[in-house]
Amino acid sequence: MPQPAAPRPKEARLFRNNRSQAVRIPVEFELPGESVLISRDGDRLILEPIHKKGLLALLDGWEPLDDELPTVEDPPIPPRDVF
């Protein structure tokens, strides 16, 4: 299935937000999420959305533990009825 055509380049406004420079991104260029990774390539700034990983994806990326878990010598303390 072919990809939809990318939006044509469009002029965007720069402004100051406290001591940082910011850009108003037109709605057709809107990025998902709350954070981006920014890098520079010559005169170009490249913004890439940072996708949050779910817990299962995070756990899937971890290497399995090779070590055996230690044996617990003392059993846990039984719960007390405090009322």
Tell me the pLDDT tens digit for each residue of 66-83: 788 888 888 888 888 888
Q: What is the mean pLDDT of residues 13-26?
A: 93
> Which run of H or of E encompasses 14?
strand 14-17
Dist. CA 53–CA 14, nearest whole Å: 31
The span from the CA of 81 to the CA of 78, in Å, is: 10
pLDDT over 70 percentage in the chain: 96
d(CA 59, CA 39): 28
Average pLDDT for 47-63: 86
Where do the domains of the chain lie? 32-58
pTM, whole model, 2 decimals?
A: 0.54
